[in-house]
Chain A
Amino acid sequence: VQAETITSPDAPPVAGAASPRDWRRVLGRWETLLIALLAVLAVVGQLISPEFLTTDSFTTGSLDLSEIALMALPLAMVIVAAEIDLSVASVLALSSALMAYLWNHGQPVETIIPICLIAGAVCGAFNGVLVTRFGLPSLAVTIGTLALFRGLAFVVIGDDSVTDFPVTWTDRAFGNFAGTFVPNTIVLFAVLAAAFAVLLHATPFGRSVFAIGANQEAAYFSGLRVKRIKLILFTLSGAVAALAGVVITLRNSTGAANVGQGFELSAVTAVLLGGVSIFGGRGTIAGVILALFLLGGIQKALLLSESISSYWIQIVTGALLVGSVLGPNLARRVAGARRRSRSQQEEDS
Chain B
Amino acid sequence: MKSARPRTVGALLVALALLVMFALAACGETKNSSDTGSSTQSQQGASSTASGANPDAPIKKGLKTVSIPKQLGNPYEEYEHSGIDEALKELGGSNRITGPTDAGASTQIPIINAAVQQKPNAIIIAGNDPNAVAPALKQAAQRGVKIVGMDSDVAPEARSVFINQVTTQLVGEGQVKSIAKEIGNKGQIAILSATANATNQNAWIKVMKEELKKPEYKDIKLVKVAYGDDDDQKSFQQTQGLIQAYPNLKGIISPTTVGVAAAARYLSTSPQKGKIKLTGLGFPNQMRKFVKNGTVDEFQLWVPKDVGYLAGQAAAALVSGRITGKEGEKFKAGRLGDYTIGPNGEIVLGPLTTFTKDNIDKFDF
Q: Across the interface, which residues of A come within 8 angstroms of B131, CB to CB?
A: 161, 163, 252-254
* Nearest chain A CB to B184 CB, angstrom units: 41
Cα A300 to Cα B98 in complex, Å, equals 13
Q: A163-B131, A253-B131, A253-B134 are in contact. Are A168 and B27 (CB under 8 A)?
A: yes
Interface string of B1-22 (1 = CB under 8 A from A): 1101100110011011101110
What are the residues of chain B within 8 A of A56 when measuring CB–CB? Answer: 117
Nearest chain-A residue to B114 (Cβ)? A303
| Chain A residues in 8 Å Cβ range of B133 | 252
Question: Would you give the shortest CB distance from B65 to chain A, in whole angstroms?
Answer: 13
A311 touches B37 (CB 8 A): no
Q: A254-B131, A300-B114 are in contact. Are A113 and B101 (CB under 8 A)?
A: no
B183 at the interface (CB under 8 A from A): no
**Beyond A166-B37, A253-B134, A310-B111, is A106–B117 a contact (Cβ under 8 Å)?**
no
Say whether A260 faces chain B, with CB atoms less than 8 Å apart.
yes
**Contact B111–A204 (Cβ < 8 Å):** no
Q: What is the CA–CA distance of A51 and B40 in the complex, to the nearest angstrom?
A: 32
The answer to whether B135 and A253 have CB atoms under 8 Å apart is: yes
Q: A117-B20, A310-B100 are in contact. Are A166 and B2 (CB under 8 A)?
A: no
Judging by beta carbons under 8 Å apart, are B96 and A306 in contact?
yes
State how many angstroms separate the Cβ of B339 from the closest Cβ of chain A.
Answer: 29
CB contacts (< 8 Å) of A166 on chain B: these are 29, 33, 35-37
B102-110, B202-210, B285-293: which lies at the interface: B102-110
Residues of the A chain whose Cβ atoms lie less than 8 Å from the Cβ of B101: 310-311, 313-314
Looking at A205, A211, A304, which has the most chain B CB atoms within 10 Å of its CB? A205
Residues from 77 to 114 in A contacting B, C-beta threshold 8 Å: 103-104, 106-110, 113-114
Q: A149 contacts which chain B residues (CB < 8 A)?
A: none
Q: Is B28 an interface residue (CB 8 A)?
A: yes
A309 at the interface (CB under 8 A from B): yes
* Interface set, chain B 90-122, CB cutoff 8 A to A: 96, 98-102, 104-106, 109-111, 113-114, 116-118
Beyond A54-B117, A204-B5, is A64–B129 a contact (Cβ under 8 Å)? no
Check if A7 is an interface residue, CB within 8 A of chain B.
no
B50 near A: Cβ within 8 Å?
no
Chain A residue contacts of B23, Cβ below 8 A: 187-188, 191
Can you name 23 A-B pairs with beta carbons within 8 Å? Answer: A60-B110, A108-B28, A110-B28, A163-B132, A164-B38, A165-B37, A166-B35, A167-B35, A169-B29, A187-B23, A195-B15, A204-B2, A204-B4, A223-B1, A252-B132, A252-B135, A254-B106, A254-B132, A259-B106, A303-B98, A304-B118, A313-B101, A314-B101
Q: How far is the CA of A41 from the CA of B191 in the complex (A)?
A: 59
Least distance between A53 CB and chain B CB atoms (Å): 11
B114, A163: Cβ atoms under 8 Å? no
Q: Flag if B8 contacts A161 (CB, 8 Å).
A: no
Known contacts A192-B19, A259-B106; 14 further A-B pairs (Cβ under 8 A): A57-B117, A107-B30, A108-B28, A117-B17, A161-B132, A164-B36, A164-B37, A166-B36, A169-B29, A170-B37, A203-B9, A252-B109, A253-B135, A261-B104
Contacts of A113 in B (CB 8 A): 20-21, 24
Q: Are A252 and B12 in touch, CB under 8 angstroms?
A: no
| Chain B residues within 8 Å of A211, by CB | 1
Inter-subunit contact A108/B19 (CB<8 Å): no
Contact across chains for A232 and B9 when beta carbons are under 8 A apart: yes
CA–CA, A103 and B36, complex, Å? 11
Q: Is the CB of A114 within 8 A of B21?
A: yes
- With both chains docked as a complex, state the minimum distance between the C-beta of A256 and any C-beta of chain B, in angstroms: 5
Considering the chains assembled together, what is the distance between the CA atoms of A56 and B143 in angstroms?
Answer: 12
Q: Chain A: which residue is nearest B5 at the CB level?
A: A204
A35 at the interface (CB under 8 A from B): no
Chain A binding surface, main DSSP class: helix
B residues in contact with A117, CB < 8 Å:
17, 20
What residues of chain B lie closer than 8 Å to A198, measured between beta carbons? 12
Chain A hits for B13, CB < 8 A:
236
Question: What's the minimum C-beta distance from A125 to chain B, rounded to whole angstroms?
Answer: 13
Contacts of A168 in B (CB 8 A): 27, 29
A108→B135 CA distance, assembly (Å): 22
Which single member of A60, A192, A259, A314 contacts B113 (CB below 8 Å)? A60
Neighbouring A residues of B16 by C-beta, 8 Å: 192, 195
Residue of B nearest to A311 (CB): B101
- In the assembly, what is the distance between CA of A248 and CA of B129, in Å? 14
A interface residues, tally (CB under 8 Å): 71
Tell me the nearest residue of chain B to A314, going by C-beta.
B101
- B112 CB, nearest partner CB in chain A, Å: 9
**Which A37-84 residues have a C-beta within 8 angstroms of B?**
49, 51, 54, 56-57, 60-61, 63-64
Q: Please tell me if the beta carbons of A207 and B28 are within 8 angstroms of each other in the complex.
A: no
CB nearest to A296 among chain B residues: B110
The 9 closest A-B pairs by CB, nearest first: A303-B114, A60-B113, A163-B131, A252-B132, A254-B132, A166-B29, A64-B110, A167-B37, A51-B117
Return chain B residues, CB-CB under 8 Å to A203.
5, 8-9, 12
CB distance from B217 to the nearest CB of A (A): 35
Minimum distance in angstroms from A213 CB to a CB of chain B:
14
Whole-angstrom CA separation of A299 from B40 in the bound complex: 33
Closest chain-A Cβ to B331's Cβ sits at a distance in Å of 28
Q: Does B144 contact A (CB under 8 A)?
A: no
Interface presence of B53 (CB below 8 A): no
Residues of B contacting A299 in the complex (Cβ-Cβ under 8 angstroms): 110
B72→A311 contact, CB < 8 A: yes
B110 pairs with A254, CB closer than 8 A:
no
Q: How far is the CA of A187 from the CA of B24 in the complex (A)?
A: 11
Residues in A neighbouring B4, C-beta threshold 8 A? 204
- Which single residue of chain B is at the shortest CB-CB distance from A261? B104
Q: Interface 1/0s, chain A 194-218, versus B by CB < 8 A?
A: 0100110001110110010000000
Most A CB contacts (10 A, CB to CB) among B12, B72, B96, B116 go to B12
Is B245 in the interface zone, CB < 8 Å from A? no
Nearest A residue to B133, CB-CB: A252
Proximity bits, A281-313, B CB within 8 Å = 1, else 0 = 000000000000000000110011010011101
Q: Is the CB of B118 within 8 A of A163?
A: no
Residues on A with C-beta less than 8 A from B31 are: 103-104, 106, 164
The reply to whether A51 and B118 contact each other, CB–CB distance below 8 Å, is yes
A223 CB → nearest B CB, Å? 8
Convert B191-229 into 0s and 1s, putting 1 for each residue whose CB lies closer than 8 angstroms to a CB of A.
Answer: 000000000000000000000000000000000000000
Contact yes or no, A261 B117, CB < 8 A: no
